[in-house]
Structure 1
């Protein structure tokens, strides 16, 4: 696996009980893998929330009235940092624990593997990757597969037979 950023600060906050959730160290490792070779320095925050907060954030920022698995808020959108502020702020990521757990069960995936996938996915969004059309989606999914394989995690898009 390629080395991650030369300086990476990942602040992880838990707004739900931590039992059964990945550690801050795991989140940092997954972010580092996603950013490896793509950015030299980064500061970002990850917040693990419950359904109520996840739904409120998705409704407020995306206009969708349901809790979703991961939300990414790049620091440079929409206004960016104030003039003169020089820091490697990448942005914020929110993971909704009940949604992630429900999806992992439904897809028969290990919970940690699903968190790793969504963390990588969210970090790529913070870097500007998107999946607005089929071509972009395939490119982003392929990159996610490669990053996760480097972490020893199976293809999250493989169909169960």
Structure 2
């Protein structure tokens, strides 16, 4: 049995999107490292730049498409649901980043899923100390998947004044 259940949604017709098995492996690697017995379901939705931009504008006030948005689910008190939340991944942005950073598309997608899943579990990178913890977890989890350091080639983007990927507390 998988550690995670993923509802894969595809709102864009594109080549190179991760498979159901890949999504489960990547999100499952996070839950294997940081078990959560009560929450193990998430949605991963692949979108175009227009949908990403609209969500980023509406929930974060940034009027541009972004690589991944995380929408953590907050369970109502007394209603036990296994939902972690939703990840919305913009295929055009991820493919452009992979090309620009000279990374394999699959490796970059793995990073986006691991990064987004950590956001769903409450991790953040707004403060430098939080970023160090989150990036160390990402490196460790990705290494366990046979993927190199995602920050080595491009430097840590999370400490910029305008980080592209964030939690969108809806």
TM-score by length of 2: 0.85
- Residues 67 and 82 of structure 1: is their aligned pair in 2 closer, same or farther, counting only changes over 3 Å? same
Q: C-alpha separation between the residues in 2 aligned to 1:159 and 1:104?
A: 11
SS at match of 2:119: helix
Q: Which runs of 4+ in 1 moved over 6 A?
A: none
Q: Residue by residue, what CA displacement relative to the aligned partner does 1:8-52 show, whole Å, maximum 9, x if unpaired?
A: 211010111142211111011100001114212411101000000
Match of 1:33 among 5, 29, 33: 29
- The 8 Å contact of residues 11 and 47 in structure 2, kept in 1 or not, is answered as yes
- Residues 148 and 4 of structure 1: is their aligned pair in 2 closer, same or farther, counting only changes over 3 Å? farther
Report what 1:58 is aligned to.
Answer: 56
Q: C-alpha separation between the residues in 1 aligned to 2:52 and 2:12?
A: 11
Structure 1, unaligned runs of 5 or more = none
Q: C-alpha separation between the residues in 1 aligned to 2:127 and 2:59?
A: 21
Computed over aligned residues only, the root mean square deviation of the Cα atoms, in angstroms, reads 1.6
SS at match of 1:148: helix
Once the two structures are TM-superposed, the CA of residue 84 in structure 1 deviates from its matched residue by: 3.5
Report what 2:10 is aligned to.
Answer: 14
Once the two structures are TM-superposed, the CA of residue 53 in structure 1 deviates from its matched residue by: 0.3
Report what 2:46 is aligned to.
Answer: 48
Q: C-alpha separation between the residues in 1 aligned to 2:94 and 2:20?
A: 16
Report what 2:138 is aligned to.
Answer: 144
